[in-house]
Amino acid sequence: MGKIDDIMNTVNEQLSAADNLNPFFKFGICIVLTVAAFQIVKYGIVRPWGRIVMSTDTAWDDKLHRPVATRAYFFLYVGAIQLTLLWVFEDFSFNETLDPLFSATYIILATSIVSVSIKHIIPMILDKFTEKSSVTVSGSNPLITFTLRFIIWFGGLYLALTELGIELFGVLASLAVFSLIIGLAVQQTLGNIINSFLLAIDRPFEIGDRIEVEGTWGSVVGTGILSTKVLDRDERLVVIPNNTLVQSTIINHARGGGDGVARRISLVVDIGVDYREKNEHVKLTMMQIAKKCEYVMEAPTPRVLLTELGDFAKIFRLFAWVHDYSDELLARDWLLRTIDSSFSDEGINIPYPTSVELTESIYTQAEKVRQEAAVRRMKQEEKRHLGEREEAKLSFEKIQEQLKDVNLDAKIKAKLEEESRALEIIINMFESGD
């Protein structure tokens, strides 16, 4: 105990000596201690935390690191200023006057840290627990984040103003009439703000969706309180007021993809061929081309149907699904170029709108053999198609029977329901193809 008492006495003597120093020396010591504290926080807390954050796979903590670190530094500076004033100017009365101001500053800084944390953490939590479906695209509901941040800031401002002796509700009451006048003047703007909340609740589209509104076709690149920004195919930024969106019919080309694939898009290509071509030969050739395209999805399987008997050509329609709607034009270009070259190799004629008189067959014996072989292979393809449809129907009925069991485990039930939805999509696709 004697050694501890000696150490405490030594520390007290040093502190007493420091208290008797000239204010300029005190001010210099405070600067040195502030720089030292900054280095400790930077290299002892912020930098190690940053390395841990960068090593994780998630993105939200990377975005959260810098704003929280910046506010922590500011917190340190404000605390250093207050302690400096208390020590250097300890005999001055203005320290008591500044105490509420510093308290309000601390409250605002704490509120800011909580608010920015909510901004990055809440969307991650919502995306994690949101059920993915055929009409869900990545991204969380911004209204929840906005509401929570508004509550946090309202509470923080209320406490900060209370420290300063200002009654927030009294200020709001005194501004009520003035707010009414301003509201009437900016009625259109307020309508856009309110409609932004309605759009956030209903969520007819999200960032990255391709939408069509009153002739404007493009991808959503930003949603704001007053307007929504759409980048059209000509790389022009179209700003659409939220009032217009609420009052218009919105066509979302990124939803309803099925199987939880929201960005895929249906691709339709119409090709006209000569009436003397064998239907099976043309259908098989076009189907093989579609299956070779790197942009086209394997499931749902591409289909080729005869859709029209025109004045001078039979029209075959190729149905396929592209992985991402940004690749639609590339996929169409590849398919058309490949169809053009493959039709030439297969001897399939694409007619011109002219009338000609043929006195003999234009097909060689080799071309006739290829046509007959294509007919046989197409019949086999259709037979396999019918078999897959029947198999899908049987599996669907079997799963429906299993779902009737009230004692079924929740995880197994969820998995069976997911398989049931996938089978239902396949069955509907087969039936629409027929």
* DSSP letter string, 174-233: HTHHHHHHHHHHTHHHHHHHHHHHHHHHH-S--TT-EEEETTEEEEEEEE-SSEEEEEET
pLDDT of residue 41: 85
pLDDT, tens digit (0-9, with 9 covering 90-100), for 18-70: 555 666 777 777 888 888 888 888 888 888 888 887 777 777 677 777 888 88
Distance between CA atoms of residues 115 and 111, nearest Å? 6
Confidence of residue 138 (pLDDT cuts 50, 70, 90): very low
User: 393 vs 187, which has greater pLDDT?
Assistant: 393
Q: What mean pLDDT is predicted for residues 246-274?
A: 76
pLDDT of residue 414: 76
pLDDT at 140 over 50: no
Q: What mean pLDDT is predicted for residues 426-434?
A: 60
pLDDT, tens digit (0-9, with 9 covering 90-100), for 280-318: 999 999 999 999 999 998 888 899 999 999 888 999 999
pLDDT of residue 139: 42
Domain boundaries of the chain, sorted by first residue: 21-180, 181-252, 265-433
> Average pLDDT over the chain, rounded to whole?
77
Around Cβ 58, how many Cβ atoms within 10 Å? 10
pTM as predicted:
0.44
Q: What share of the chain in percent tops pLDDT 70? A: 76
Written as six digits, the tokens of 360 are 């003999």
Q: What mean pLDDT is predicted for residues 176-202?
A: 69
pLDDT of residue 363: 60
pLDDT of residue 136: 41
Q: Are 277 and 348 in contact (CB under 8 A)?
A: yes
pLDDT, tens digit (0-9, with 9 covering 90-100), for 217-235: 888 888 877 888 888 877 7
The residues facing 213 across adjacent strands are: 216, 250
pLDDT of residue 333: 94
User: 406 vs 394, which has greater pLDDT?
Assistant: 394
Q: Classify burial at 99, counting beta carbons within 10 Å of its beta carbon; exposed 0-12, middle 13-18, buried 19 or more.
A: middle
Written as six digits, the tokens of 40 are 């400790």
Query: 265-433 adopts what CATH topology?
Result: Alpha-Beta Plaits (3.30.70)
pLDDT of residue 270: 94
AA identity, residue 329? L
pLDDT at 357 over 70: no
pLDDT at 145 over 60: yes
pLDDT of residue 406: 67
Rounded (10°) CA dihedral 166, 168, 173, 178: 90
Q: To which H or E segment does residue 295 belong?
A: none
How far, in Å, are 21, 140, 144 from residue 200 at the CA level? 61, 9, 9
CATH class for the region spanning 181-252: mainly beta
SS3 279: helix
Cβ neighbours of residue 325 closer than 8 Å, sequence gap 6 or more? 210, 253, 254, 263, 264, 265
AA identity, residue 26? K
C-alpha radius of gyration, the chain, whole number: 35
User: 13 vs 323, which has greater pLDDT?
Assistant: 323
Pairing state of beta strands 303-309 and 227-232?
unpaired
pLDDT, tens digit (0-9, with 9 covering 90-100), for 76-131: 888 888 887 777 776 666 667 778 888 888 888 888 888 888 887 777 776 665 55
pLDDT, tens digit (0-9, with 9 covering 90-100), for 155-169: 888 888 888 877 766
